[in-house]
């Protein structure tokens, strides 16, 4: 199967972007990173991507009159790079239904919590304050409602008695960096189908077979 052309949208550090770029270097990975787009000129991830020789673009939201103009500029850039799939990776702008609908079923996001718990910001602080024992991260398809949409992958992280939001965030981020490449491989490789709010392995794939990067679903 031809590799899917993926654009990664970032606003900052870009560790998830890096994880995707590194995974996509494998010859059998079903996606290639054809663009890294940032809305912030100072994003550390943008400098890293440039240094790697990747195609990069800056679409600065502050240089546009309104959200629509900003998104139209992003859309033009994505189209110019032949983008087939979009991965949001720490992209800190809310997207309008117009943009989301253009990419519906073709745009993923990573969220630092076990959705549908802890939508929004400050997820680690809130999880600790609530006393939950298990926290984690989620990769999901993007729909117009923020932090909703069919879930492709999740991973759990135990909350420790002495956890701080930063310590917990660091352990969750390690898992984010593992599940995002896995989730993108499932979607780009057309191994999954969306049925309502569920993302299911395509028919013909045995349940329990080590399809999700070598893990059985119960592990
Ligand atoms: C991650 O925690 C991600 O889940 C959230 O923003 C953070 C981005 O981190 N959406 P990075 O820029 O990928 O390192």
Which atom from ligand 1 is nearest to the alpha carbon of 19?
Answer: 13
Q: Do domains 1-103 and 110-219 have the same CATH topology?
A: yes
Share of the chain above pLDDT 90, in %: 92
Ligand 1 center from residue 177 Cα (angstroms): 9
pLDDT in tens, 159-203: 999 999 999 999 999 999 999 999 999 999 999 999 999 999 997
CATH 2.60.40.10 fits 1-103, yes or no: no
**pLDDT at residue 217 is higher than 50:** no
Q: How far apart are CA 208 and CA 214, in angstroms?
A: 10
Domain coordinates in residue numbering, the chain: 1-103, 110-219
**pLDDT at residue 216 is higher than 70:** no
Which pLDDT does position 218 carry in this prediction?
42
Which pLDDT does position 2 carry in this prediction?
96
Q: How far apart are CA 63 and CA 104, in angstroms?
A: 26
CATH of domain 110-219: 3.40.50.170
Q: What residue owns the CA closest to ligand 1's atom 5? A: 90
Which pLDDT does position 204 carry in this prediction?
63
Q: How far apart are CA 108 and CA 81, in angstroms?
A: 18
pLDDT in tens, 5-48: 999 999 999 999 999 999 999 999 999 999 999 999 999 999 99
């Amino acid at each position: 199967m031809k590799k899917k052309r993926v654009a990664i949208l970032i606003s900052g550090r870009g560790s998830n972007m890096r994880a995707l770029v590194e995974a996509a270097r494998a010859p059998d990975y079903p996606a290639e990173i054809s663009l890294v787009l940032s809305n912030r000129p100072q994003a550390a991830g943008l400098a890293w991507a440039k240094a790697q020789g990747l195609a990069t673009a800056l679409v600065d939201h502050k240089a546009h009159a309104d959200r629509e103009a900003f998104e139209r500029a992003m859309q033009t850039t994505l189209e110019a790079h032949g983008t087939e799939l979009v991965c949001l990776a720490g992209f800190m702008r809310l997207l309008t239904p117009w943009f989301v609908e253009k990419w519906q079923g073709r745009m993923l996001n990573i969220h630092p919590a076990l959705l549908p718990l802890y939508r929004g910001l400050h997820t680690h602080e809130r999880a600790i304050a609530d006393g939950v024992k298990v926290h984690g991260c989620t990769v999901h398809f993007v729909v117009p409602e923020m932090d909703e949409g069919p879930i492709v992958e999740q991973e759990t992280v135990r909350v420790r008695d002495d956890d701080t939001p930063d310590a917990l965030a660091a352990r969750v981020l390690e898992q984010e960096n593992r599940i995002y490449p896995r989730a993108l491989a499932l979607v780009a490789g057309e191994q999954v189908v969306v049925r309502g709010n569920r993302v299911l392995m395509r028919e013909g794939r045995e349940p329990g077979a080590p399809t999700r990067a070598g893990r059985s679903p119960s592990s």
